Structure 1
């Protein structure tokens, strides 16, 4: 595959095969993905890999947070669905960034960390692995931060779900870039 094919072919994957992901493969992807533009070379990122029995705490937290509904039965059902959804993910890759107190550097660090996530995504796709970049309510709870060891002054940039795709969605249309280009030449 060419780089262009990888970029155009990559999809956000939410359904995975029941197949283990090699931890050393992911570590190797991270080693390659680190080659991103990073102003001042702060390299503010670190990673937490969660797999096998390590997923249990995240799945239980997701279950508690999703246990909503009008009846006890509905709460139990919604919680169980949320639990199973997390347990079906072969591996989680937490991307955690040190938040620089200087706003300009913090924004540049976030941009660099986002580039790193994209590199991991493309490198994983090349190896037949799919992932989806998740953020949101779960990842900002104190309980989640404690589970993954996020410290004060750190931001969880993403909870990357990683595995071999069971289903690859079709490409969604992208806006025409030509209509978003302004040329200034005089």
Structure 2
């Protein structure tokens, strides 16, 4: 077995990609739980830890796929339901990350920022282990039927649906705008 070189955080941040094509190879659930246990060290105001997780694996992936497909129009269902069901079932895990929808805007903003930081931590930690993640915020997340079928409680917001699995190829990096083009410095 070839030893992997140690990577800096900067390397991992720059190399991480959203993965959409996954190997069907299983990942031990304990690895996912371990990554989440590290990811929860995201900064969060008041140490509220506003997140909750719903994980789909094995036969549970069928529940996830059906919940997504049930949000399709009849035309979409006819065109792509079979392919999408197969696609979703080929991905080892689907993780839904939710948070409470606090009616107080400041708390809601703090919680969504914290939960987003947790998701980024998870993606970076997974990448370090050569596990790919795609963070989705598709319209189906807003559909009441989807939310009910996947176990999202009333008063919760889906911050992201994460597709998780090993990858064979890494997509090329897309060009980023230099910070200097977006940076305003005030020194007076």
Instruction: Name the TM-score, length of structure 2 as normaliser.
Output: 0.91
Cα offset, 1:152, TM superposition: 1.1
Aligned pairs for 1:2-81 (under 5 A) are: 2-66=8-72, 68-69=74-75, 75-81=77-83
Aligned equivalents of 2:168 and 2:68: distance in 1?
A: 22
> Structure 2 vs 1, CA of residues 140 and 75 (structure 1 numbering), >3 Å: closer, same or farther?
closer
RMSD of aligned Cα (Å) = 1.5
> What residue number does 1:105 align with?
107
Q: Deviations over 1:69-108 (max 9, x none)?
A: 3xxxx85342112211211211011101012221111011
1:160 paired residue number? 162
Residues 75 and 162 (structure 1), Cα distance of their counterparts in 2 relative to 1, 3 Å cut: closer
Q: CA deviation at 1:60?
A: 2.0
Q: Does the 8 Å CA contact 2:39/2:121 hold for their aligned counterparts?
A: yes
Structure 2 equivalent of residue 142 of structure 1:
144
1:9-66 residue CA offsets vs partner (Å, 9 max, x unmatched): 0000000011012111111111111112211221110111111100112212333444
Unaligned runs of at least 5 residues, structure 1 = none
What secondary structure sits across from 2:159 in the alignment? Answer: strand
CA distance, structure 1, for counterparts of residue 91 and residue 147 of structure 2: 19
Contact kept in structure 2, 1:49 and 1:94, CA below 8 Å: yes
Number of residues of Structure 1 aligned to a counterpart in Structure 2: 182
Distance 1:83 1:123 in 2: 28
Separation in structure 1 between the aligned mates of residue 80 and residue 186 of structure 2, nearest angstrom: 54
Partner Cα separation in structure 2 for residue 137 and residue 149 of structure 1: 17
Kept after mapping to 2: 8 A contact 1:66/1:78: no
Aligned partners of 2:149 and 2:34: how far apart in 1? 24
Segments ≥4 residues shifted beyond 4 Å: none
Cα contact 2:97–2:161 (8 A) shared by 1 = yes
Asked if the contact 1:47–1:93 (Cα under 8 Å) also holds between the matched residues in 2, the reply is: yes
* Cα 1:167–1:66 shift into 2, 3 Å: farther
